[in-house]
Amino acid sequence: MRPEWADETASGPIYGDPNEGLVHRKGVEVAANKLLKNAWTYDHRGRYYGRSYYPEDDRGEACHDFHIQTADHLHDIGIEVLTANNNADYLVQKWERFAEEDRLTLWLFDGRDTACRMFNALDKRGRLYLDGGQFSTPANWSAQAINHKLWRSESNYGRTEISDVVHTVTGVLEGDDETLHNMFSDYYSNTS
């Protein structure tokens, strides 16, 4: 399975990482492809500031699924794709690990229920406090509504910087090239 935008010599997680499921690999590849179309990911000569699939941190440990360096006035971005995981401890540990990094995390979930499960677990453990209480009935929450609740929650409870943007793999895949651009514009206009 090769996406239209990948040429014959391209390599990437959609057809190169046997340790992850198809939804995970597709999510990483599609999000990276769409984010790299934004002007803030490359300089005036069209050269990318920096990007890497499955990078390692300073300790040699795996971190986000994909890193993108951006223009100096914006946060660098780490993309993390999470699929149907019922292990709340794992989700909390993943969030805590990335909260320590100096970059904004784009969380792509297989569905809104997984997203709501993770943030409810963080609220339950006191890692963040959800404005208005925990998420209920995830099917009623759009990605935009989840983000707005998270941004209110973090800023209302004293975090100096908000470091999460949430979407679904399907939403990014089926959305146009502006889907993620608009979400990050919304992030910066709501958190500045």
Q: Are 163 and 99 spatial neighbours (Cβ–Cβ below 8 Å)? A: yes
Task: Break the chain into its structural domains and give their ranges.
Answer: 22-191
Q: Which residues contact 41 (CB under 8 A, 6 or more apart)?
A: 35, 48, 49, 51, 68, 69, 70, 71
Alpha helices (H) along 49-111: 88-99
What are the structure tokens assigned to 136, written together? 């209920």
- CA 26 – CA 41 distance, rounded (Å): 21
- pLDDT digit string (tens) for the chain, length 192 residues: 444 545 566 665 554 455 677 888 888 888 888 888 888 888 889 888 888 887 777 677 768 888 888 888 888 889 999 987 778 888 888 888 888 777 889 999 999 999 999 999 988 988 888 889 999 988 789 999 999 998 888 755 445 455 789 999 999 989 888 888 888 888 888 876
Angle of helix 178-191 versus helix 22-35 axis, rounded to 10? 70
